[in-house]
Structure 1
Amino acid sequence: MSDSSMGTLYVVATPIGNLEDLSPRAARVLGEVALIAAEDTRHSGRLLRHLGLSVPMLSLHEHNEAARVAQLDARLAGGDSIALISDAGTPLISDPGFVLVRELRARGRRIVPVPGPCALVAALSAAGLPTDRFLFQGFLPAKGGGRRGRLEALAGHEETLVFYESPHRIRDTLADLGTCLGDRRLVLARELTKTFETFLDGTAAELLERLATDPDQARGEFVIMVAGAAPRDDGDTAAVDADALLGAMLAEGVGVKQVAAVAARVLGGAKKTWYARALVLKERSQP
């Protein structure tokens, strides 16, 4: 149980573009804490100046987060409250903070969320894709092979798939989405809450063509949302028993490459897709 005499770590969501999205509670907390741990103090400094605040800041990013734990824990133990913010949106959602929150919670410190903007939720709310179940994957691997491998492993999921992507990789990622997932409906959200916010939808090929004809649409930060795989027909024995077949072969010591080849021949589909699926099953079966 946390000690009431100790400080509190507030995990504060900040605007992803439009400064009017900062809640009154978040503004109040930022003005009341003794210290703000920010992903980039120069970037966050603009927000504080907009609010008329001069609270001390300390950088906390992926390269120094673990090293900051003891320092921030000492401040909390001394009674100081701290706000954790990222460059934009909700901390920990594809942003630093997980290590800090995990370690401080393990030490019994009080952690309080101050909810607000999040690109993931904002994009889904306006995309028109199913949101009762979705699978958020953050940023896909930067290299093509790793990216395609991840997409192939996700190909069978029926949930809406959600990714973040940067402008310099958006075209390559769309191309790989088309190759690995086919002609599914995609929604591309760009520059959310900012002046040039746009939502584009279509197949991967259609969106690539749109970016080619209007290069401005390839600028900014993106949320990519992809329709999930079509539900499997329970009466389709081949679909229902596919994992059982792969699992049985793996249990008998058949290599993943050979399992993929057999599955492609018996059940149809691409070897690379079955390879990714068999690899996932093999990893799950390991203790």
Structure 2
Amino acid sequence: MVAFTSISPAQTLSREDQGLLRIDLAGSQRMLSQRALRGACYTAAGLGDPAMSMRLNADIAEFKRRTSLILDGDDGIGLDPERSPIIRSDYEDRVLVPWQTFETSAVYIAARGYAEGTELHDMAERGQSILDDLDMTVSHYEEKYARGNTLGPEESRTLNVYAAQRMLSQRVANQHCLVALEVNSDAARQRLAGSFERFDTALRDMENGNVDERMLPPSRAVEPVLACMRRDVEAIRPAIMSAVSGARPTQPELALLRDASSRLLVQAQGAVTLLQNELTGLAESDTVPPCGAP
């Protein structure tokens, strides 16, 4: 499971650390929702296995755990409850309500090993709604902690973009899979094109920095991780462009995206961890996996 920066129970989080953690938590919720849809689609496509079903159920449990952290905080790690009524009401009404049905469909698909009727279509539409509102939550946090001079606007923005790459790695894969299964394929193609372009543009900003987008340039520690990400992005580009252009993805192309999206998620989390450590003044992490880590 993707982990946020570890914090010992004895620590009390500063406002800056709370800001970093909340952006990471809400950002990781985006990833979990998209990885759940990815797992359900690959299962329905016959590319699932017991490990993927276990991961799907684990993602659902982790989503609930992180929801509790976001809304209720945790004294054990020094995280305060969310006190903003706007953030709380948006999250409770616009994320948790559609998540309940989304979760049920994911559990059933994982249990039986295939999708029935409109399950995947419904999951895709609810997943889009959940994602839109989680994006709003992350933006609320980005503004909240930048406005309070807790994090600089460039730091908040850069962390948000890094964190979103985790989600986009899974979203590109699930939309590609939905195109293959012809589940609302026109909408899936449009979303696939948009998600891949967003991922590719963000990766260029991560590689080079972007003053106009308030993106900080990468440190030396992050550069090797970004090189790994670029390698995998270029490897999947032909399959993505083929699907966007109207072709139906083949089983080998689905397997390529399945495996590459797993690596990209690990790499994106490695980049987030390194950035968090830099922003909080921690020593550089020596646990970032190599390019080929699954």
TM-score range, shorter chain: under 0.3
Larger % of strand: which?
1
Higher Cα radius of gyration: 1
Larger % of helix: which?
2
Q: RCO greater where, 1 or 2, for CA within 8 Å and sep 6 or more? A: 2
